[in-house]
């Protein structure tokens, strides 16, 4: 439990440094020393709402809006699929990220195991088997971060 809390604190500090503790990251530019033109995959596995909202979603949305990466893909994987199917506030945040250009996909094997594939698809999320696509991302040089 102690290691988990330390990990969360380190993640939060990282996000605060990069995001300036602000929801609006429009004032952060590529000129801040972060190279553009790269691809970022976020593998969201946690079923913890606070990890989603205060760490994973903050960084994912900021990475796209600020142009830190040219392409940002959020993959809903495992327990996060059940959480997302039940939490309207998180669903609204996902919709906003998608509107801002974040590509959101969900692992069909995972969402099927929780019985939530239809709910995720109704949000406009592409639900498909993600083992092979994730493997290709890793092999082709994507930066991948897991929460």
Report the predicted TM-score, pTM, of the whole model to 2 decimal places.
Answer: 0.76
For the beta carbon of residue 3, count every other beta carbon within 10 angstroms: 7
Domains and CATH numbers, the chain: 36-146 (3.40.1260.10)
Task: Report DSSP letters for 19-71, one per residue.
Answer: HTT-S--TT--GGGT---S-EEEEEE----HHHIIIIIHHHHHHHHHTTSSSE
- pLDDT tens for each residue of the chain, 147 residues long: 555 443 444 444 343 334 443 344 334 333 334 444 599 999 999 999 999 999 999 999 999 999 999 999 999 999 999 999 999 999 999 999 999 999 999 999 999 999 999 999 999 999 999 999 999 999 999 999 999
Task: Report DSSP letters for 4-20, one per residue.
Answer: HHHHHHHHHHHHHHHHT
């Amino acid at each position: 439990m102690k290691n988990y809390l330390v990990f969360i604190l380190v993640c939060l500090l990282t996000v605060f440094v990069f995001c300036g503790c602000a929801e609006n990251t429009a004032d952060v530019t590529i000129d801040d020393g972060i190279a553009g033109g790269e691809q970022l995959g976020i593998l969201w596995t946690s079923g913890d709402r606070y990890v989603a909202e205060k760490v994973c979603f903050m960084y994912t949305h900021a990475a796209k809006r600020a142009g830190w990466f040219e392409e940002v893909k959020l993959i809903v994987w495992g327990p996060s699929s059940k959480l997302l199917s039940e939490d309207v506030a998180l669903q609204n945040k996902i919709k906003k990220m998608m509107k801002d250009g974040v590509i959101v996909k969900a692992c069909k094997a995972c969402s099927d195991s929780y019985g939530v594939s239809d709910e995720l698809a109704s949000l406009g999320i592409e639900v498909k088997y993600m083992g092979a696509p994730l493997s290709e991302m890793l092999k082709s040089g994507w930066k991948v971060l897991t929460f």
